[in-house]
Amino acid sequence: MMKLFDNSAEAILFFDRDGRALAANPAAEEILDEEVLEALLEGEDGAICRACAGYTNEYGYRSCHNCYFHHPDQNDFTSFQVYLQSKGKGLVPYTSSFHTVDPEENIRVFLLRDMTRQFKTQERLYENKMMKHVIDAQENERKRISRELHDGVAQELLSAVVDLRVLKYLSDDAELLGKVRQTEAALSRLLEDIRNLSVELRPAALDDLGLDAAFRTHFKRIDENYGVLVNYRAELTGRRFSSEIETVIYRVCQEAILNAVKYADVDTVDVNLSERGGRLFLAVTDRGRGFSPGSRPAGTGLGLYGMSERAELVGGMLDVESFPGKGTTVRLNVPALAAEEGGMADG
């Protein structure tokens, strides 16, 4: 028992009926300031209040109502949460127990276990869940707007273009025909811009046909719009993966290629996508300007941060390797979860 008392990672203090500390193990001495500990050992009234910032109960997150120390018999204090000013750590949350171990002498024991690590884990888990919900909502909204643009606005514009083409055969007025042709050309350009915007928001091929088809369509558009040829090689089994996984891979690749187009000053980009060992591996390589390891890349840097966040949220890993004058490689690997294994709700 003495070994447990001396070597326990939990802080342990024993108190008598008058609130005087009878003993404190080394772990307790590590967290309490010397003045507080001396006051407790001397039985000074309210000594624990020098360190305590309250405990969690039905009245508040940090409350002193029906204090565990002064009213130990009014509530169940076998397990509760308390906040103490700890030596060198500031305000720290502890899971605690304060109960009588010797009813005849009214000896009570106060146990404290630092919950900082658990709280940080819970906070990170909550942040990840919220981030997943945000990304899920973003992708669903992109999908909705994309389809409205494609099925609504684009179709109306196409109908107007067709009407103008018919109108050209209904008049011989040269000036009128010239205006009609100009308007037709302007509407055709606008129609193409809307179709491009629709695909940028959320390509229908990604939801309907999967990664391979979406990539091939996207790379064709990159060549047409920017004059950058994407050398694409895929080694896939042909099966569909969860919508969440496919979306992460597509968005990371999209961002990596966009960065290469904007900042690398290249006319070709290599993209390799493969599946092995239950994971999917993506590599996007350019042989452009590159940047020094540890330095901030061109742009805001938010693109790399967003790619990393997406990878972490699905249990994946992102690695960026770059050297000045030698180019940049973005590597991503994520679990190869099948479509039936769940993921982001329908995009």
Q: Record the pTM.
A: 0.64
* Identical fold between 2-114 and 205-347: no
pLDDT digits (tens, 9 = 90+) for 217-264: 999 989 988 999 999 999 988 788 998 999 999 999 999 999 999 899
Using CA atoms in the order 298, 299, 303, 309, what is the torsion angle rounded to 10 degrees?
A: 80
pLDDT digits (tens, 9 = 90+) for 316-336: 999 999 999 899 999 999 999
φ, ψ of residue 120 to 5 degrees: the values are: -65, -40
What is the layout of strands, in order, in the sheet containing 279-286? 229-235, 268-276, 279-286, 327-335, 317-323
- Domain positions in the chain are 2-114, 116-202, 205-347
List the structure tokens of 133: 């919900």
d(Cα 259, Cα 276) in Å, to the nearest integer?
Answer: 27
- Domain 205-347 belongs in CATH node 3.30.1490.100: no
> What integer pLDDT is reported at residue 298 of this predicted model?
62
With a cut of 70, list the residues of the chain below it in pLDDT.
150, 294-302, 340-347
CATH tag, 2-114: 3.30.450.20
> What integer pLDDT is reported at residue 346 of this predicted model?
41
> What integer pLDDT is reported at residue 344 of this predicted model?
42
d(Cα 51, Cα 84) in Å, to the nearest integer?
Answer: 5
d(Cα 204, Cα 147) in Å, to the nearest integer?
Answer: 8
Distance from CA of residue 220 to its chain's centroid?
A: 30
CA distances (Å), origin 255, targets 90, 106, 140, 227, 310 = 42, 67, 19, 17, 12
Portion of the chain with pLDDT greater than 90, in percent: 37
